[in-house]
Structure 1
Amino acid sequence: MRSTLRTGMTLCVTFLLFLAFNLVWIGKLPDIRWDLSQQKIHTLSPPVYPLLATLESPVDMYYFNSNNDPKRSYAVKRYGKRIEDLLKEYEKKARGMINLHVIEPAPYSEDAYKARLSGLDENTGFLGLISTSPGHGVRRIGSFSLEREPLLEYEISHLLYKLQHPERPVVGLLSGLSMDESAGRLLQAVRREFELVALEPNAALIPEHIKTLMVVQPRMLPERTLYGIEQFVLRGGRLMMFIDPLSEQRSTAFPANSRLDEVLAAWGIQMPTDKLVVDSLYTPWETPDMPNRVRLNLPRQAMNLNDISTWNLNRVTVSSSGALVQLNKSRTTFTPILQSSEQSVLLEANQSPRATKSDSLIEEASSRERRHVIAARIEGPSYSVFSDGIKGLPPGLQTAAQIHVVVIADTDMLTDKVSDAAPDGNALFVLNTLDNLSAPDMLVAIRPRATQDMPTVLEGMREVARQAYRSKASELERRLQRTEQEWQRLSPWTTTLGTQAVETNTQLQALNKERLRLPMELNTLQREAYAQVRRLELAITLVAVFAMPLTLCLIAWVVFLGERRRRLQAGGIIH
């Protein structure tokens, strides 16, 4: 009895000491956090700190997270928690300039009504942010997307900057093409977001107040203008340039300028002027037997999702585009933004891309699995190709330690005719890029941070299986594609409302059998290639599920045996 009382008193005293420690001392301990992730995704990037220091007035941030929504996956729930942790880090480092309000809106509640009224997306439950600041209005992120997780820090920082600086950035426009009629809608969208300043095509100097420049088909601009563009880039200006081997728009009266290739080489890239990208996978079909070879509908798989230019994009359409290539001895960083698929090839610009010969070339290129870069971001050191200046102007800057250029090997994507094929896609791509280029250095310096883990044995096996599958599946995929094209050519392209007779054409029946058989063969091939990977995944799952229960059972069994032996020994001593 006395032993039981002593044990109870000990437990009570221990509990009281623990409670007193938490109430009195826990608040006085230093707030120490260790970020052990590979990309330091739980720690703010160094460029964020000067951004927070520039906050002029307090900011209220309302984070809406429907964490208990039944439509939400575990991955999105995890992402929602990471967003909350990162926002708390912003609040902490802002030293009182940010007030974070975490709201979990219940269905049909007042909070849900406010979130809906503010324009937040609720397709899979609310996961958005609203920020307000006295005298600066309201800004929002309608929905955080798991696909944009590497850009999370940039999204939040961009919102804070735009909230404090709502004025439109100045963007200069230099065009070697007549864009007013052909690209009127896109230019109108740019003018809504930026103060667009149209410069004379023969301008030799870019005004100092212009920090961001949009140039279209500089090959049709005079040499003095090309010199001005180069000097603008060397002095730290940001450039978005559209070049095209075969533009469908009407050019200006100036003759073609051959020195553009030298400027591109100084930036570490080149674009063949006589080559077009033709892609059988991304080619839209206008009629059953006539694909539009010169036009490419680039889906998200063709985009660099870690680049700001592809923010919220689903599709970009280009037409008669060229290909950008990084030079071997280039010192600049070449980051692809838009690429063709592996089923693409470069054709001569003067060759009809609708010719039958292109099909055989594409099939041959598909076996090489090479993608062609249509848009890229160029950063790094550069030099001037006009070392002696030009006539009437003295030599300018000769070198630069860091340039910021985005080059797109297509000009027709700006036209209303092409951009209408991707509503909001082409315009949003241009707006995203200009917005990023016109942002301050501290915002541009915030780089995407992927959340990928270190490579594992399982990932290595997946890569080996993928390569094995691709090596065997390429021919089947090409046969399936040819079958689909032939089937579309022979079958009715459009159907009218009502009933139709069933087509009993023998060739169509054979094609239908092929359309069913080839996907089944591909599926079987995929199962065989990934069989070893799936066995290992199953083994890992079983270990993860049963390891802890079995360990606890083993410990309990050892404790039981030890206790049983102790009792037996005690009984033997008594007897």
Structure 2
Amino acid sequence: MRYPLRTGMTLSVILLLFLAFNLVWVVKLPDLRQDFSQQQTNTLSPAALHLLTTLESPLDFYYFNSSIPAKKSILKHYAKRVEEKLRAFEHAANGRINLHIIDPTPFSEDAYKAGLYGLRDQPGFFGLIGAREGQTAQRIESFNPENEPLLEYEISHLITQLLHPEPAIVGLLSGLPAGASIEPLVLELHRHFDLLELEPTADHVPSRIKTLMLVHPRGLPEKTLYAIDQFVLGGGKLLMFIDPLDKGGSKTTSSATRLDALLAGWGVSMPSNKVLVDPTYAPSEHQPATFTLPRQAMNTRDVSTWKLGTVTVSNSGALFSLDKSRAIFTPLLHSSRQSLLIDSDAVGSALPTRGEPHVIAARLEGPAYSAFADGFGGRPPGLQKAAQIHVVVVADTDMLSEPPGESARNANKLFVMNALDNLAAPQALADIRPRAVAGHSLKLLAKRREAAERAYRDQAAELERRLARTEKEWQRLNPDVTALGTESVDTSTQLQALNKERLRLPMELHTLKNTLYAPVQRLERNVKLLVIVPLPALLCLIAWGLFRRRRRRWPVPPSAFY
């Protein structure tokens, strides 16, 4: 009897001491935090910590996260990571950020407030409201797991908007001919920025402009190219849209040479009169030079593609990094592996079957040199080099004015806005780079997945083109009509054949995808089992060993001897 009683009393005393410690002493201990994630994703970067030091007044964060059963598992896991990131911001701000976590139930006052502030219900709310006294509230209407590498930037962007609500000053310089209007985009730029439009013959960039958007420099005179050269070398940030074709017909040989030298000084080249065609992403085989880039054709870890689903380009060129350049060349948009760079007058003719991916847009950062080593216009040479430039080059101008469809125009506008907003951002925000997310696949698994994706793209391209043609023909023969009451049903032989194709081709695509991805899925399942099973099994083995050891030490009751 004494042994069980003594054991019970000992456990009771330990429990009371544990409760007393938590109630009295835990609140007096320092707040110690340790990030055990593989990529240190719960630890803020030095740039984000520097941004928080600029806070002069407290901010309030209202994190709306609906815990509803209908929410997908991946969103639930990501919601937890967002909360951890927000808590890291709150902790690093030393009392200057107050985080409020809200679970808005349906039809509640919290749900009403979430909708009032413009958060998206899809289903349930998953967004953030930032408030600062005396300033307009800012929101992230919905967090997206696909943007996890940009999560730190996304929250920092909201903080920056609260600290600097005034629009950034951006200059616009266009060499497009009079017939090529980008007026809808210009109106959108005026809404978001303090936009200053410069004359095409400008010989300098005003000092108040720190970020410049340049469109079609082939149509600009040499003195304007010299002004751009000095602006970039002097620390100005540039977003340039350059067309491979001479649209205006007014380009001189000297201007063309200067423009090529300007690009070469930044470490990039773009062949003129060469057009990119992409049969994989082109909606029609009759217009292979006009195509829509999906999400997988973008650099999803760059701010320029933030919240972006597609981008439509037309008669675009291709960018190449120069071998001798020391500038960092980061592709932002690229074509498929079936794309080809051909002469502009060969568009529409028979194309070779083999191609390769080409870069359509790129970010340039690093050392650069002037294209005007001898100065210009009799003036002595200006700046000749810079240790760090910030330039985004896009090998297309048609995307600013001609993308078909309202959704394509909005997507292209968003790409321009993202790039300009990032270039014009305060340095404390611009220094924040995308973070690698925790839980990346093993290298072998990543290579297998990439190989399966490449094989699927190669083998599914023809099926997808046939399906697109079939759908287009089906819509032509079976258009939507307005009818009163009932209407007759067309069951012609041609429609029946088309409908069979509409059913068969998606099934073939689904079967092809399952076949190619099956080995990858088996490998993923084996990796998960390898990671998940050993730890519980080891803990069970340790517990069983401790139980056996303690059982041997238990005293034998006296009745056992009788």
State the TM-score, normalized to the length of structure 2. 0.88
Whole-angstrom CA distance in 1 between matches of 2:457 and 2:92 = 52
Mapped contact 1:283–1:296 kept (Cα < 8 A): yes
Structure 1 counterpart of 2:54, which letter? T
SS in 2 for 1:257: helix
Residue 228 to residue 22, structure 1, CA distance change in 2 (3 Å): same
Hey, what does 2:188 align to over in structure 1? 189
**406, 410, 413: which one pairs with 1:427?**
413
Q: C-alpha distance in 1, partners of 2:305/2:511?
A: 35
Instruction: Give distance in 1, aligned partners of 2:35 and 2:542.
Output: 33
Aligned equivalents of 2:527 and 2:294: distance in 1? 34
- When residues 391 and 453 of structure 1 are mapped into structure 2, their CA distance, relative to the original with a 3 A threshold, is same
Shift of the 272–62 alpha-carbon distance from structure 1 to 2, 3 Å rule, reads same
CA deviation after TM superposition for structure 1 residue 132, in Å: 1.3
Distance 2:197 2:250 in 1: 14
1:218 deviates by 0.9
Q: What does the per-residue CA deviation read over 1:105-155, in whole Å, with 9 as the maximum and x for residues that have no partner?
A: 111110010001110011132111111112222111111111111111111
Q: Distance in 1 between matches of 2:282 and 2:509?
A: 23
CA distance, structure 2, for counterparts of residue 269 and residue 44 of structure 1: 33
Superposed CA RMSD: 3.3
Offset at residue 418 of structure 1 (A): 4.8
> 1 CA distance for matches of 2:94 and 2:541?
51
Show the counterpart of 1:406.
392
Q: Does residue 72 of structure 1 match 2:71?
A: yes
Letter in 1 for 2:163: Q
SS of the equivalent of 2:447 reads helix
What's the counterpart of residue 148 of structure 2? 149
Q: Is the 8 A contact 1:238 1:437 kept in 2?
A: yes
1:182 is paired with a residue whose SS is coil
Matched-pair contact (CA < 8 Å) for 1:213–1:238: yes
Show the counterpart of 1:295: 290
Alignment of 1:122-201 (within 5 A): 122-178=121-177, 182-201=181-200
What code does the residue aligned with 1:235 have? Answer: G
Would you say 1:50 and 2:50 are equivalent positions?
Answer: yes
Residues 538 and 374 (structure 1), Cα distance of their counterparts in 2 relative to 1, 3 Å cut: closer
Cα displacement string for residues 184-240 of structure 1 (whole angstroms, at most 9, x for unaligned residues): 111000011111111122222211111000111111111111111011111110000
Q: Is the 1:419–1:426 Cα contact (8 Å) retained in structure 2?
A: no
**CA separation in 1, counterparts of 2:135 and 2:529?**
55
Instruction: State the secondary structure of the residue aligned to 2:190.
Output: helix
Shift of 1:516: 6.8
Closer, same or farther: CA 572–535 of 1 in aligned 2, 3 Å: farther
> What is aligned with 1:379?
365
Calculate the TM-score normalised by the size of structure 1. 0.87
Aligned to 1:225: 224
The amino acid of 1:74's aligned partner reads S
How many residues in Structure 1 have an aligned counterpart in Structure 2?
555
Q: Secondary structure at the match of 2:3?
A: helix
C-alpha displacement at 1:245, in angstroms? Answer: 1.1
Aligned to 1:354: 348
Alignment of 1:225-304 (within 5 A): 225-246=224-245, 250=248, 256-285=255-284, 291-304=286-299
- Structure 2 residue aligned with 1:310: 305
| Offset at residue 568 of structure 1 (A) | 13
Partner Cα separation in structure 2 for residue 396 and residue 462 of structure 1? 49
For the Cα contact (< 8 Å) 1:177–1:251, is it kept in 2?
no
CA distance in 2, matches of 1:11, 1:264: 76
Mapped to 1, the partners of 2:92 and 2:547 lie a distance apart of 53
Residue identity opposite 1:495 in structure 2: N
1:388 counterpart residue number? 374
The residue correspondences of 1:494-573 to structure 2 (distance < 5 A) are: 494-496=477-479, 497=481, 498-504=487-493, 509=497, 529-540=516-527
Contact 2:129/2:140, CA 8 A, preserved across alignment:
yes
Amino acid at match of 1:36: F
Query: In the aligned structure 1, how far is the partner of 2:13 from the partner of 2:559?
Result: 38
Tell me the residue number matched to 1:11: 11
Q: Which segment drifts farther, 380-389 or 75-84? A: 75-84
* TM-aligned CA distance change 1:108 to 1:202, over 3 Å: same
Tell me if structure 2 keeps the 8 A contact 1:47–1:445.
yes
Alpha carbons of structure 1 residues 31 and 149: separation in structure 2 relative to 1, 3 Å: same
Match of 1:327 in 2: 322
Aligned to 1:336: 331
SS at structure 2 position matched to 1:149: helix
| CA distance, structure 2, for counterparts of residue 247 and residue 419 of structure 1 | 25
Shift of 1:385: 1.8
CA displacement 1:480-532 (0-9 Å, x = unmatched): 356446656876625233545434359x95x8878777766666665555554
> How far off is 1:182 after superposition?
1.4
Contact (CA 8 Å) 2:445, 2:520: kept in 1 or not?
Answer: yes
What percent identity do the matched residue pairs reach?
A: 50
Counterpart Cα distance in 1 of 2:294 and 2:453: 23
Pair 107,348 (structure 1): closer, same or farther in 2 beyond 3 Å: same
Kindly indicate whether the alpha-carbon contact (under 8 Å) linking 2:218 and 2:246 is maintained by their aligned counterparts in 1: no
**Cα distance in 1 between the residues matched to 2:439 and 2:528:** 18
Give the superposition deviation at 1:323. Answer: 0.8
- Quote the residue 2:484 is aligned against: none
> Which shifted more, 162-171 or 29-38?
29-38
* Residues 11/533 of structure 1: CA separation in 2 closer, same or farther (3 Å cut): same
CA distance in 1, matches of 2:219, 2:518: 56
Separation in 2, partners of 1:340, 1:303: 9
Q: Specify every segment of 5 or more residues in structure 1 that has no aligned partner in the other structure, as ranges.
A: none
Aligned equivalent of 1:364:
354
Q: 2:447 aligns with which of 447, 458, 463?
A: 463
CA distance in 1, matches of 2:455, 2:139: 46
Bigger mean CA deviation after superposition, 209-218 or 296-305:
296-305
Q: Equivalents in 1 of 2:387, 2:532: separation in Å?
A: 54
Structure 1: how far apart are the matches of 2:80 and 2:431? Answer: 25
Look up the match of 1:99. 98
Q: Is the 8 A contact 1:221 1:257 kept in 2?
A: no
Provide the rounded CA distance (Å) in 2 between the counterparts of 1:162 and 1:559.
Answer: 57
Is the Cα–Cα contact under 8 Å of residues 219 and 258 in structure 1 kept in the other structure? Answer: no
Is the contact made by 2:463 and 2:509 (CA closer than 8 Å) also made in structure 1? no
Alignment CA distance shift 1:538-1:485 (3 Å): closer
1:88 partner amino acid: R
What is the distance in 2 between the residues matched to 1:145 and 1:251?
A: 45
Kindly indicate whether residue 463 of structure 2 is the aligned counterpart of residue 480 of structure 1.
yes
Contact 1:331 / 1:381 at 8 angstroms: preserved in 2?
Answer: yes
Q: 1:196 to 1:469 in 2, by over 3 A?
A: closer
Q: How far apart, CA to CA, are the structure 1 residues paired with 2:454 and 2:137? A: 49
